[in-house]
Chain A
Amino acid sequence: MMSNLTGAERGTAMIITGAGVLVGLAMAAVGHGDPMGTHGWIVLAFSALLFFFVGDKVYDPEPAEDRAASYYDDPTKVGIVIALAWAVVGMGMGVWVASQLAWPDLRFDAAWSSFGRIRPVHTSGVIFGFGGNALIATSFHIMQRTSRARMPDQVTPWFVLLGFNLFCIVAASGYLMGVTQSKEYAEPEWYADLWLVVVWVAYFVLYIRTLARRNEPHIYVANWYYLAFILVVAVLHIVNNLAVPASLTGAKSYSAFAGVQDAMTQWWYGHNAVAFFLTSGFLGMLYYFLPKRAKRPIYSYRLSILSFWGIVFFYIWAGSHHLHYTALPHWVQTLGMTFSVMLLVPSWASAGNALMTLNGAWHKVRDDATLRFMMVAAVFYGLSTFEGSFMAIRPVNGLSHYTDWTVGHVHAGAMGWVALISFGSIYALAPVLWRRETMYSWKAVEWHFWLALAGTVIYVFAMWNSGITQGLMWRTYTESGTLAYSFTDTLVAMHPYYIARAFGGLLFLIGACIGAWNVAMTIRRMPSETPELDYPTSSESREPAVPAAE
């Protein structure tokens, strides 16, 4: 894989990883006795591993292949494998966390395994580890195909992919040590945040440079969504994480915001992380792999325009609906509520555009589990955006807020939409990437589909029941005008649903494990195939079909 890099690129890679070693060493030295020191050792080990990996191949001959004649897929391949590994880890942590709620003894009395520490490992592991890697990997694939151009260089994509994973590892290991800045989905501390800014800007520049090299007159819709994802996440990340480190030798920092401003900034970030990380990026995935797999034209370009601009414009206003009935001024809440409702139509327009694209291909949805993953993902996308707008209405939120209904809503989105579209895309992408005819086992894809769907449905129904029960119990008064139930009573009522939720999550995890196994077997066991037209040229003939060296 490293022999595809030119000599100069290998040199650059060694300088970057060497710098990583030095930074890690410095962090370990100054942060001694603080979690930052442990992070220093992690950065050191990570960089040193890559340094020796590149160094081992540094004097290999220059790549012979004409690079302009093929797409650069090595980082995509690695990204897909890492995404699947994070899926198993992140969802495994999810099942553990869910089980702790049903059976608290599963904490095993250690500090690192307490709920507050392993829950963010689950959320970050799934959102950033699995989702983020799937987004980065598929974006590398899609940006090249839809531009009919190879990425401009071969170091930046590795820097983006591996740098992002270093961030994920530092984040997850930090949570276990108790490092957090207590902002949901933005828990990592200042040095991890700074590093992510560097990685993310490199990602943005790489995307723009690839688009600038494109051989297509127009930029395909999927790229709009990926670009919105990269650009807005950069803005959100930088603003919400503005903080002053307590010292340069420790992990602790203080946010630049306080009080209700802090809460508003956090939920402006949090809601738009849902919008631009978990929606926009995955819509990019949907817009490429669904028409590709169904072999149908996108239903309506005009609808794409309406939904894209609707989503990016309305979403950014909606964050305050997370703070209904709080110290946040009433007028901010009204704005958040109304924009959330106006957001519904563009969101449904995207889901509708995807489903209408399947007209003429519904027999394929029936026969092909990969396409079915994408179809059901679009349905869940529509379902959870409707639910989201509904829950953003103030009086509805009065019942749903702080209950498991919110948890169910998030998981309808995360499992039903984000994970299903990712798995569908991975099943569509893996044979193309590794030049195989099909996946190793279509039966395993079917099993994965039904396990994932069953798991999601069980999870979401359990949480709807639990959340509404909980919300109603909290607001039930006796004839005397006093509360009818204590908080503990609600926990007792929720216990059966907690068990059901853990079971649903377990089914989903088993599906993900089957998927990871299936991809591994596809790579290892399936015979190689000459690809269909899959290189950056306008020629219709198969020449010069130079498959990338394996």
Chain B
Amino acid sequence: MSVKERDPLTGHQTTGHEWNGITELNTRVPRAVWFFVIVTHVWALVVWFLMPTWPLITTYTKGLLGTDQREEVEEDIAVANAVRSDWASRIAELAVEGIRADPALMARVNDTAHALFGDNCAGCHGSDAAGGPGFPSLIDDAWLWGGEADTIMETLRVGINATHPDTRYAQMLAFGEQGILPREDIRIVVDYVQSLSGTEAPADRLAAGAEIFVNNCASCHGENGTGMTDLGAPNLTDDFWIYGGDDEAMFETIWGGRQGWMPAWEDRLTVADRKILTIYLQDIARETAQ
């Protein structure tokens, strides 16, 4: 049943078939289609000659240009390193004071530090470096382990409670869980510690709290509660709290203890990178303090 009809609109013949009312015209493939078929195939043919393309039994056609993506990557990395090598090696060699004295090097530091911090530190400390619950702020003037360039460099190198053999180690005991202090004593010492940063509390509780503090806390946090950077024990008299300064959070801290963790960066960042971060951290802390 093949009755060819002519479509009045286009003047083309149908193929003579019909499926549930659908017919097809036998229109020739437009020239433009053949043209672009040829263009794309010729382009592909050219690329096949130029680039590695067809597999052979044990190798492949290498292409006239002799390109290889592995070599290209190595070249790219070499070029990228060459751009950085002059100033990066100087930063690695010089002490922080020396770098600060050199405006050209400081320009490199300022160029680089933001992305370096964003990709490596911001995940925990926040992109504004203001920290968050469990993660210290880096823009106040309080340094857990000290804010001098060498100390920051060391903290970055070995981390805190990390897997590095020289890692800085700090742990606050779980005074409640381990039965060192009864519940009520913890509540009293919470009031006392809060009073160190200026809150009000009844005088008798403060006296009792002071005694508990001296016997249990002062060995790390100091008699005045101002902390000890050698031990990584935070200052309790400022108004910044890593784990929160309200009654509930502080009770939780003293009851269950705390042990923060920061990875060691020695194997992940170069000396120059760590030095750049050190300078950056000192600068942002100083800027906010002003």
CB of A330 within 8 A of CB of B118, answer no
CB of B84 within 8 A of CB of A486, answer no
Cα(A485)–Cα(B127), bound, Å: 12
A479 at the interface (CB under 8 A from B): yes
The 9 closest A-B CB pairs, nearest first, are: A486-B118, A481-B83, A300-B27, A338-B44, A478-B111, A298-B24, A331-B52, A301-B24, A145-B20
> Which residues 1-49 of B sit at the A interface, judged by CB distance below 8 A?
1-2, 7, 9-10, 14-15, 17, 19-30, 33, 36-37, 40-41, 43-44, 47-48
CB of B47 within 8 A of CB of A334, answer yes
A317 to chain B, nearest CB (A): 11
Cα(A244)–Cα(B24), bound, Å: 49
On chain A, the residues within 8 Å of B40 by CB distance are 341-342, 344-345
Cα(A339)–Cα(B48), bound, Å: 11
Q: Mask for A295-310, Cβ within 8 A of B = 1, else 0? A: 1011111111010000
On chain B, the residues within 8 Å of A344 by CB distance are 36, 40
B66 to chain A, nearest CB (A): 11
B249 to chain A, nearest CB (A): 19
CB of B24 within 8 A of CB of A297, answer yes
On chain B, the residues within 8 Å of A333 by CB distance are 69
On chain B, the residues within 8 Å of A303 by CB distance are 27, 29-30, 33
> Which residues 322-337 of A sit at the B interface, judged by CB distance below 8 A?
325, 329-331, 333-335, 337
A487 at the interface (CB under 8 A from B): yes
Q: Which of A325, A331, A334, A479 contacts B111 (CB 8 A)?
A: A479
B125 to chain A, nearest CB (A): 11
On chain A, the residues within 8 Å of B51 by CB distance are 330-331, 334
A512 at the interface (CB under 8 A from B): no
The residue in chain B whose Cβ has the minimal distance to the Cβ of A389 is B40
Q: A480-B84, A483-B115 are in contact. Are A330 and B27 (CB under 8 A)?
A: no
Q: A298-B22, A482-B115 are in contact. Are A338 and B47 (CB under 8 A)?
A: yes
Q: How large is the interface on B (under 10, 10 to 19, 20 to 34, 35 or more residues)?
A: 35 or more
CB of B47 within 8 A of CB of A359, answer no
Cα(A306)–Cα(B29), bound, Å: 8
CB of A485 within 8 A of CB of B53, answer no
Q: Report which B residues bind A (CB closer than 8 A).
A: 1-2, 7, 9-10, 14-15, 17, 19-30, 33, 36-37, 40-41, 43-44, 47-48, 51-55, 60-61, 63, 67-70, 80, 83-84, 87, 107-108, 111-112, 114-119, 122, 127
Cα(A302)–Cα(B26), bound, Å: 6
Q: Which of B22, B30, B63, B119 contacts A486 (CB 8 A)?
A: B119
The residue in chain B whose Cβ has the minimal distance to the Cβ of A219 is B19
Q: A331-B53, A338-B53, A339-B44 are in contact. Are A486 and B25 (CB under 8 A)?
A: no
Q: Which of B20, B33, B83, B87 contacts A349 (CB 8 A)?
A: B33
Cα(A418)–Cα(B61), bound, Å: 39
CB of B25 within 8 A of CB of A300, answer yes
CB of B115 within 8 A of CB of A335, answer no
Further 13 A-B residue pairs, CB within 8 A, beyond A297-B23, A486-B127 = A297-B24, A301-B26, A329-B60, A331-B51, A331-B60, A334-B53, A335-B53, A338-B48, A342-B40, A345-B36, A480-B84, A480-B112, A488-B127
CB of B47 within 8 A of CB of A337, answer yes
The residue in chain A whose Cβ has the minimal distance to the Cβ of B127 is A488
Q: A337-B47, A342-B41 are in contact. Are A218 and B17 (CB under 8 A)?
A: yes
Q: Mask for A344-381, Cβ within 8 A of B = 1, else 0? A: 11001100100000011000000000000000000000
Cα(A486)–Cα(B111), bound, Å: 12
On chain B, the residues within 8 Å of A348 by CB distance are 36
B37 to chain A, nearest CB (A): 5
CB of A331 within 8 A of CB of B55, answer yes
Cα(A267)–Cα(B28), bound, Å: 36
Cα(A279)–Cα(B30), bound, Å: 23
CB of B53 within 8 A of CB of A304, answer no
A521 at the interface (CB under 8 A from B): no
Q: A483-B115, A486-B115, A489-B118 are in contact. Are A345 and B33 (CB under 8 A)?
A: yes
